[in-house]
A and B are shown apart, each in its own frame.
Chain A
Amino acid sequence: MSQTDVTGAPRRGKVLTLDTMNPNIKQVEYAVRGAIVQRAVKIEKELREGAKKPFTEVIKANIGDAHAMGQKPITFLRQVLAMCAYPELLKDDAFPKDAKQRAQRILEACGGHSIGAYSASQGIECIRQDVSRFIEKRDGGIPSNPDNIFLSTGASDAIVTLLKLMVSGEGRTRTGVMISIPQYPLYSAAIADLGAVQVSYYLDEDKCWSLDVAELRRALRAAREHCHPRVLCIINPGNPTGQVQSRQCIEDVIRFAKEEGLFLMADEVYQDNVYAEGCKFHSFKKVLFEMGPEYSSTVELASFHSTSKCYMGECGFRGGYMEIVNMDPAVKAQLVKLVSVRLCPPVPGQALLDLVVNPPQPDEPSYSSFMKERTAVLDALAKKARMTEQIFNKVPGITCNPVQGAMYTFPRITLPPKAIDKAKEEGQVPDMFYCMRLLEEEGICLVPGSGFGQREGTFHFRMTILPPAEKLEIVLHKISAFHQRFTKEFS
């Protein structure tokens, strides 16, 4: 478009338009909060304004937000946070000693003893030490250096920072990033934003979404024709699929990363959310070190954790960390410099993370209450995972893999050809068409599988297992009924 009009005067149009904005941003999509959620929010508004609908509330089963679905915060964590916010409360007898002691420790580590001070950019030092201790304990004694811990604004922040660090080259030498299909769309969004190349590897739906190194190899070889793959991202336990990788698989992936010269990124934010019999969480760090120095002193790894999931569900606090293993020291210095520009992660989130890695111990006053709450949350999730799989698998046309871990189900849905045609007519991807109809008819908001990636010609949706059990049961039955109705309508 010309910058001047017929008289030669500058155009009246805007400075910042679709044509003049950052082109990468236009490529970014994030389905978890995309079009269907915007429609859900509108419907909620209409309901509030008294509009009549076939339902009385919208159920937002699109996002892994436990508290929004009624899960309660852990009492101990919130007691400490309240005292950190308002230290006058340290004098209050109603608060247990162990909570006070932790609040005091955190405050002493803050500038001016206030959580309002900026912290060091890498995060409060004593918290990073606590994180290291936690990791060592979790990983059977394998050392963790606090200097390799970077606290972050949720895990998302650290994931994006690391991806940013990796992106270089142009055209055929542009950094390629391997990520699963299906994936949590932060990865595809960040890759698009950074102008990196997404290298997709398919998880095996027929084998409970397991990861297959042969498939990794296939994807990598194909990618090498057009980009320079540098990093391999794994989400374990998986999102949206919930699969918990076996130890053997993790070893194979590490071996593959070493052979092929790939930086490993292990997204482990659901590490406490493991439900299925025979499944266990193995951290990439632990497996790496148990494979001996040939691997543990060479493979470059970043592992990510968060306060948003597990039993805490404290999404709003934006707490998280990454542990860096075998990073080049000069690059690490660059990373330290990069995070300094944003000053520091939110201190309340850092404090919360400290409590997560340093919870009440057996000899402390809050221990039994803490364990009770923690166990209740994780048990409830396990039950809901099983119930979800059972109910969905009864529906002709819905196939649901076991929800081994995390917080979601990602069932495959069969859509009749007429529905697919109708979707095309309306300019919609078929599973979006399906989910939009479900939303309008039942007020249930899910995310279509197309938002996460899936094999061509297959359709899925992602639903959280977070609503309270009785509500979840109702939701599952409504979806089952909808599916049968929908199938009939388009047969």
Chain B
Amino acid sequence: MSGLSATRCGLPKESVAENGAPPRGKVLTIDTMNPTVKMVEYAVRGPIVQRAVELEKELSEGRKKPFQEVIKANIGDAHAMGQQPITFFRQVLALCSYPELLNDSTFPEDAKSRARRILQSCGGNSMGSYSASQGIDSVRQDVARYVQQRDGGVYCDPDNIYLTTGASDGIVTMLKLLVCGEGASRTGVMISIPQYPLYSAALAELGAVQINYYLNEEACWSMDIGELQRALDEARGHCNPRALCIINPGNPTGQVQNRKCIEDVIRFAAKERLFLMADEVYQDNVYADGCEFHSFKKVLFEMGPEYSNTVELASFHSTSKCYMGECGFRGGYMEIINMDDEVKAQLTKLVSVRLCPPVPGQALMGLVVNPPQPGEPSHENFMKERTATLSALADKARLTEEVLNTVPGISCNPVQGAMYSFPRISIPEKAVKEAAGQGQQPDMFYCMRLLEETGICLVPGSGFGQKDGTYHFRMTILPPADKLKILLSKVKEFHQRFTKQYS
């Protein structure tokens, strides 16, 4: 490089000094870093949360605020909001961590037998060993049995199960696999608006093309094939659509797709040759009467071999949601259907580079899919805890919808499932203008004010996507019921205050 001028090297002029020596500035700067990473946003832990953390710090340093605590209703973290872990799971995990405890008579036999089974599947009978990269064999078998039972006997091959570091890991890995082409042939991926921003973040990072299809707010956030078609047809002009992502039950919207809708989506994917990605991490979180979780896999197979032999599908599940709420363990799996054998070999190779998903998370997933059965000592207590958690969530879902709908200017669809409400909020013109003046999205402006005035941290709808000119926020339904009531009434008061201030 010495002797050549910067432009002849093809380098930006300012990055090389005249004599060819490296620049005085840093090697890694905003200009020299990965450009796609700069495009990544993840609102669930974005600026509003950073501000919330700052406020928490100020509070802990004794600063006076209009509130005594910051309530982080921004993230689907049940334990952080006081939900208790399932006793049985933690007993088994303790036994796996410190097998000396297998001699301890206070642990029930069913917990011990599962711990032994897990440990026997681990190298050196220790959770500290790497597992096979696709995940511990016996856990994958248990997952397959669970899937089969859940889906009314539709066969599940353990070899199609990949354990993952949370569902996020499996989703990103699949998206990575799908990305190819350049310019007009670049992979396009269909995702809902609103969506869980892992998808938009992953697509930005991978340099894939995001294809938005709008959920219908007026029809309880349902999916509409006409809208899928519109989005797809438009996208074909500038990219190569290859995948269709569905989140069911939905995040942030909570809608639970009906069976017919799922069939229509599968038919659409088959006709338009799209790889289906079904994010089903909230599959146990279904509250509304008349709503039921139907797995894409089950519906696919019930549509007969014309579909079940051809449609390529990946389904995702996790230990972070449902009744377990074990986010910190980063447990998850994906099931792959009809994947090309050679691509599957590439997938297996790809996951091997990261060695294996965390073994405690794998063990936990093994318990989630193989919980205490009737007749086992821990069954009764397990069912009691599970039911209590899910009923509490159902109550809080209803409470949230009710209270928010009493507020003029807030309109909340029923929270059919998942863990969030995504109400629409009217923001007065004056507030919209002031937000613009501060260079903020109107709903971010709103949420920031809410945070500063009440200590409640929500995520603005702009972080998830919404129809132009509409505003929303996403709030979890996770705080304990009494706290949630207070939260909801504070949000109500704030909204009325805010609306008045800017009228």
On A, residues with C-beta under 8 Å from B are 10, 12, 14-18, 20-23, 25-26, 28-30, 32-34, 41, 63, 65-73, 78-79, 81-83, 85-86, 89, 92, 94, 110-112, 114-121, 153-154, 156-157, 160, 164-168, 171-173, 186, 189-190, 193, 221, 224, 228, 230-231, 259-263, 300, 312-318, 326-328, 330-331, 334, 337-338, 340-349
Contacts and interface: CB of A to CB of B under 8 A. Distances in A.
Contacts of A326: 26
Contacts, number: 300
Given A312-B128, A318-B165, 6 more contacts: A14-B338, A82-B98, A119-B328, A259-B22, A261-B23, A346-B360
B101 interface: yes
A298 B313 CA distance: 49
B198 interface: yes
Contacts of B349: 25, 28-30, 34
A12 B270 CA distance: 10
A17 to B, nearest CB: 5
Contact of A63 (B35, B130, B346): B130
B329 A341 contact: no
Contacts of A112: 79-83
Q: Which 7 A-B pairs have the closest CB atoms?
A: A261-B22, A111-B80, A68-B123, A347-B328, A316-B359, A86-B94, A82-B98
Contact of A82 (B10, B40, B101): B101
Given A110-B328, A186-B353, A165 B37 contact: yes
A156 B133 CA distance: 14
Contacts of B166: 342-343
A324 to B, nearest CB: 10
Interface in B93-123: 93-95, 97-98, 101, 104, 122-123
Interface of B: 1, 9-11, 22-23, 26-30, 32-35, 37-38, 40-42, 44-46, 53, 75, 77-85, 90-91, 93-95, 97-98, 101, 104, 122-124, 126-133, 165-166, 168-169, 172, 176-180, 198, 201-202, 205, 242-243, 273-275, 310, 312, 324-330, 338-340, 342-343, 346, 349-350, 352-361
Contacts of B359: 316-318
A341 B49 CA distance: 13
Contacts of B354: 154, 156-157, 160
7 contacts: A16-B177, A29-B349, A68-B124, A86-B90, A116-B327, A334-B33, A343-B327
Contact of B128 (A221, A260, A317, A344): A317
B34 A116 contact: no
A15 B126 contact: no
Given A20-B180, A30-B349, A86-B90, A173 B10 contact: yes
A334 to B, nearest CB: 6
B11 A18 contact: no
Given A16-B242, A117-B77, A300-B26, A21 B343 contact: yes
Contact of A260 (B22, B176, B179): B22
A344 B342 contact: no
Contacts of A10: 273
B45 A121 contact: yes
Contacts of B133: 33
B84 to A, nearest CB: 8
B57 to A, nearest CB: 10
A118 B331 CA distance: 12
Given A17-B342, A173-B11, A341-B40, A189 B28 contact: no
A86 B95 CA distance: 9
Contacts of B176: 22, 25, 193
Given A71-B124, A114-B328, A21 B33 contact: no
A178 to B, nearest CB: 12
Given A112-B81, A186-B353, A263-B27, A86 B91 contact: yes
A4 B327 CA distance: 45
B318 to A, nearest CB: 11
A190 B26 CA distance: 23
Nearest to B319: A116
B80 A30 contact: no
B33 A85 contact: no
Nearest to B17: A261
A339 to B, nearest CB: 9
Given A12-B310, A69-B124, A85 B90 contact: yes
A21 B180 contact: yes
Contacts of A190: 353
Given A16-B312, A118-B75, A68 B130 contact: yes
Residue among A10, A73, A186 having the largest count of chain B Cβ atoms under 10 Å: A73
B94 A341 contact: no
B180 A346 contact: no
Contact of A316 (B78, B127, B243): B127
Nearest to B101: A82
B80 to A, nearest CB: 3
B201 A341 contact: yes
A396 B28 CA distance: 49
Nearest to B1: A224
Contact of A315 (B45, B90, B128): B128
A254 to B, nearest CB: 13
A229 to B, nearest CB: 10
Contact of B77 (A111, A168, A172): A111
A81 B98 contact: yes
A168 B35 contact: yes
B350 A334 contact: no
B128 A26 contact: no
Contact of A89 (B44, B94, B201, B243): B94
A313 B126 CA distance: 10
A33 B352 contact: yes
Contacts of A261: 22-23, 27
Residue among B172, B178, B328 having the largest count of chain A Cβ atoms under 10 Å: B328
Contacts of B352: 30, 32-34
Contacts of B35: 168
B340 A18 contact: yes
Contact of B343 (A17, A28, A172): A17
A300 B27 contact: yes
B34 A164 contact: yes
A334 B172 CA distance: 19
A340 B346 contact: no
A70 B126 CA distance: 9
A349 B346 contact: no
A168 B127 CA distance: 38
A74 to B, nearest CB: 9
Nearest to A41: B132
A404 to B, nearest CB: 24
Nearest to A20: B180
Contacts of A17: 340, 342-343
Nearest to B311: A15
A28 B343 CA distance: 13
Contacts of A153: 165, 330, 358
A290 B459 CA distance: 46
A82 B363 CA distance: 14
A343 B130 contact: no
A18 B1 contact: no
Given A14-B312, A15-B312, A262 B33 contact: no
B115 to A, nearest CB: 11
A315 B129 contact: yes
Contact of B242 (A20, A79, A156): A20
B389 to A, nearest CB: 12
Contacts of A230: 27-28, 32
Given A85-B97, A331-B33, A172 B312 contact: no
A316 B131 contact: yes
Residue among B32, B79, B81, B133 having the largest count of chain A Cβ atoms under 10 Å: B32
B82 A22 contact: no
Nearest to B72: A111
A263 B122 CA distance: 38
A117 B327 contact: yes
A257 to B, nearest CB: 9
Contacts of B165: 153, 318, 346
